Amino acid sequence: MAQTKHEIQSLLAGAGTEPRHRFGQNFMIDQNLVRLVADAGMIAAADLVIEVGPGTGTLTEEILSRGAEVLAVEIDRDLAGVLRERFAGNEKFRLIEGDALAGKHALNLELSASLREAAKLGKPVKLVANLPYNIASPLVIEMLIAGVDLLVFVVQKEVADRLRGKEGTDDYGPLTVMAQMLSKVEYLRKLPPGAFWPAPGVDSALVRMVRADRLGDRAGAFSTFVQQVLSARRKTLRKALERANVDADAVIAKLGLDPKLRAEELPPEVFLAMFEAGRASVG
């Protein structure tokens, strides 16, 4: 059963701590939401479930009750202590104390090693989490690149809108392109601030991403290319491509594109075509 607001407050008080804004902590206090997140993850006993930002363990408990192995990653030292105490006797629970990211484009080394081991064993890997808002965008992309099969997470609605953005809209950007080239993005539902404590100042959303990788080992270079091109999103396509150090005229001619278009008007598939044409144009 999900922890109530009072139970979470008691656990935090017992650990001598409180919600920390710098870690993006907003705890789920809606029992139905906790079940909904776990249900969306389609959790099976054979799964390795990564939970980033487990907090006081309310979603952790729900995942474990479904028989899966949980690898929790918690940066907050006080909350890591709470989790160790709560799940000390559960052999299916493991904890990494630290940041899930080792850099803007790299996962925690221990986490990466666990993902590689799961891949060797053929074990299905899922991310199921109420993500700390401050790391959600880079984390989900790195998880997809690392081979995580399914991601189900709660995030700011603004981030969810960017993940499923359409070309030509304000939501469309590098995150959109990468997410849609690596997965199928599903927006499951909007969540009100009252489902969390402390209540965030914005709406949240529940998102599911099913891995559908069309990039392979090109992901890193493609990400750099997309960032460079969309840094000039209001300029013409020719000007934007020049920022990516490719022969803009050759790429435009090869793909039959209108050089007066803006990069933000092009769908993700065209970005991949431009990337490949650009690599060919420089040798």
pLDDT of 55:
95
pTM of the predicted model as reported, rounded to 2 decimal places: 0.94
CATH superfamily of 218-281: rRNA adenine dimethylase, C-terminal domain (1.10.8.100)
Specify the CATH number for 5-213; select among 3.40.50.720, 3.40.50.150, 3.60.70.12, 2.60.120.10: 3.40.50.150
Instruction: Give residue 54's pLDDT.
Output: 97
Q: What is the pLDDT of residues 22-37, one digit of tens each?
A: 888 999 999 999 999 9
pLDDT tier at 2 (50, 70, 90 boundaries)?
confident
Kindly report the average pLDDT of the chain as a whole number.
95
The residues of the chain that CATH labels 1.10.8.100 are 218-281
Q: What is the pLDDT of residues 231-266, one digit of tens each?
A: 977 889 999 999 999 999 999 999 999 999 999 999
In eight-state DSSP terms, residue 236 is B
- pLDDT at position 59 over 90: yes
pLDDT band per the 50, 70, 90 thresholds, residue 105: confident
Q: What is the pLDDT of residue 1?
A: 64
Predicted confidence band of residue 133 (pLDDT cuts 50, 70, 90): confident
pLDDT for 102? 95
CATH 3.40.50.150, the chain: domain bounds? 5-213
Query: With bands split at pLDDT 50, 70 and 90, how would you rate the model's confidence at 223?
Result: very high
pLDDT per residue over 9-18, tens digit each? 999 999 999 9
